[in-house]
Amino acid sequence: MKVLITGGSGQVGFELRRQLATLGEIVAPNRAALDLLDADAVDTFLAQQQPDLIVNAAAYTAVDNAETDLEAATRLNAELPAQLAAYCQQRGGWLVHYSSDYVYNGEGDTPWQEGDATGPCNAYGATKLAGDEAVAKSGCQHLIFRTSWVYSAHGKSFLSTMLRLGADRSALSVVSDQIGAPTPARLIALVTQQALTKLYGTQLQTATASGIESGVYHLAPKGATSWHGFACEIFQLASNLGLPLEITPEGVSAIPTSDYPTPAVRPLNSRLGVDKIEQALGIQLPSWQSQLALTVEEIASSR
């Protein structure tokens, strides 16, 4: 089986290439090999490669820039998933697509469930929702994994930014009224691998009727915190492992979102209920704290 991973150089794509390597022939073109902004180039690539399964980790993730760079955000977050879904529907193959907590309106304080009404509060969320809807309407067999606050030991993320700033500064102010679950790319790739194994078997041969059902699933660790809590935990773990820091958790001040204005409105409630994915795969997702500890350990061991 040939598996196409789009966005293979990103945080999630990097982990997917590692996690899915033993399950089939992996094709993961970089930007030079395939410009995903070019719909004709994507059609040509699909016709030439004819993948049996597509795992779409490509996305426009610059939330603030999406407010003004709407054409590119729409192409990557909405039109590309629709294009890949159309290919999968025609061939009878599956599409794995990654979405976001930003498709919800961010109100309240209870975890969002997959069947809840959507209502994005910014352009990024609107383009991600458009992609979800296009995949669902295509008729292709699909797994849409909505996740939150993605980070990893590789590439740019809130984690890498905090470690960089904390190495030079003894004080930082971080938003404390936005609540969600920091999700490592490693966990996203691992759960994806578990879902595909349940669907296709260990060697990704033919999809079985006993596999996971087509649809939307939330994918995040258990528990929730604020960006402030996330930052404090990062600095505590990094300090314990001897990473170079000027800051301590006590040096992180908690501020409201109103004190940190951004071009794009941020949802205050990014909690995601994960019962559906746990039941479908027969798993128990780990806590966000344990997953962060693993990632910081990975960073420390690489230095």
Reported as a single tens digit per residue, the pLDDT across 255-272 is 999 999 999 999 999 999
Name the burial class of residue 283, with classes exposed (0-12), middle (13-18) and buried (19+) by CB atoms within 10 angstroms of its CB: middle
> Which two structure tokens, joined as six digits, stand for 113?
């469930």
- Kindly report, residue by residue over 208-242, the tens digit of the pLDDT: 545 789 999 999 999 999 999 999 999 999 999 99
What is the C-alpha to C-alpha distance for residues 176 and 289, in angstroms, rounded to an integer?
17
Domain boundaries, the chain: 2-301
Active site residues: 124
Res. 204: pLDDT tops 60: no
What is the C-alpha to C-alpha distance for residues 141 and 130, in angstroms, rounded to an integer?
17
Question: What average pLDDT does range 188-201 have in this prediction?
Answer: 92
Question: What average pLDDT does range 260-286 have in this prediction?
Answer: 97
Name the burial class of residue 136, with classes exposed (0-12), middle (13-18) and buried (19+) by CB atoms within 10 angstroms of its CB: middle
Residue 209, pLDDT score = 47
> Which two structure tokens, joined as six digits, stand for 208?
């079985």
Question: What is the SS3 assignment for 156?
Answer: coil
Tell me the whole-structure pTM to 2 decimals: 0.95
Report CA-CA distances (Å) from 151 to 65, 111, 277.
19, 20, 20
Res. 174: pLDDT tops 90: yes
**Which CATH homologous superfamily contains domain 2-301?**
NAD(P)-binding Rossmann-like Domain (3.40.50.720)
Residue 42, pLDDT score = 98
- Kindly report, residue by residue over 76-119, the tens digit of the pLDDT: 999 999 999 999 999 999 999 999 999 999 999 999 999 999 99
Residue 208, pLDDT score = 53
Residue 206, pLDDT score = 55
What is the C-alpha to C-alpha distance for residues 129 and 103, in angstroms, rounded to an integer?
5
Residue-averaged pLDDT of the chain: 95
Question: What average pLDDT does range 141-149 have in this prediction?
Answer: 98
